Amino acid sequence: MPKPSVAELRPVVHPPGVKDRRSGEHWAGRLYMRELSLRIDRHLVETRVTPNQVTYVMTVAAVLAAPALLVPGIAGAVLGVVMVQLYLLFDCVDGELARWKKQYSLGGVYLDRIAAYLCDAAVLVGFGLRAADLWGSGRIDWLWAFLGTLAALGAVLIKAETDLVGVARHQQGLPPVKESASEPRSSGMALARKAAGALKFHRLVLGIEASLLILVLAVLDSVRGDLFFSRLGVAVLAGIALLQTLLHLVSILASSRLK
């Protein structure tokens, strides 16, 4: 059986709204990964590969970002970016494969969220261990490993705060939250949210953005000859993660999402 063309796949696996989802589509997906995933889809849609199997591969790629970052120098940072990009690629492919084959499952949705949590956590924990200089000739400085783990905890909590809105509404028998309900009820909170959205500093603790930042810092470290920039980056990301955890919680409580 001939493989479907990209033109045949596109209207089925990219229905209207997929690329325009406010919080469900990453900028990298819109920019380039959805086009690349279409080329991978062509080779999978007529096989026995299931969407959940792709999700398992995606999860493995996400977890491998942590050990990849432990490789010293720029090579480890590049490997970290590669693992995260593979995660993003398979994150696109599993949903597209599900739409083409009409193989939907709650288990798939659940596994997808687990992988998203693991990706952010793996990158930030790996970054902290990298900054601790595990393979250096001197003493391992566990402070940076602690700060990386703290950043990872914050990143996971931010995602959990969002997901738990749905859990709370379901337990009260309420329908899923609407996009309009996420708007803060006070003008002051609305202004603060717009300012944070414009700066987008909170995105730095997400696995994709963090991996790219780590690569830039690794290049700077290579020029300087030490881990100064990576350690500075770990400290900054830990601060951002903790601040954003608190701000996101306040934003949810100040909105109508729990009404």
Integer Cα distance of 53 and 155 in angstroms: 26
pLDDT tens by residue, 65-81: 999 999 999 999 999 99
CA 124 to chain CA centroid, nearest Å: 11
Integer Cα distance of 62 and 47 in angstroms: 24
Integer Cα distance of 212 and 18 in angstroms: 25
Question: Is residue 1 situated within a structural domain?
Answer: no
pLDDT tens by residue, 141-174: 999 999 999 999 999 999 999 999 999 998 988 8
Domain that residue 145 falls in: 6-254
Closest residue by Cα to residue 214 from 87, 125, 88: 125
Question: Is residue 175 situated within a structural domain?
Answer: yes
Residue 187 has pLDDT above 70, yes or no: no
**Residue 44: CATH number of its domain:** 1.20.120.1760
In the block, tokens 């491998």 appear at 64
Which whole-number Å values give the CA distances from 195 to 108, 185, 207, in the listed order? 35, 16, 22
Integer Cα distance of 93 and 51 in angstroms: 8
pTM recorded for the entire structure? 0.89
Question: Is residue 188 situated within a structural domain?
Answer: yes
Integer Cα distance of 77 and 75 in angstroms: 5
| Domain tally, the chain | 1
Question: Is residue 259 situated within a structural domain?
Answer: no
Question: Is residue 55 situated within a structural domain?
Answer: yes
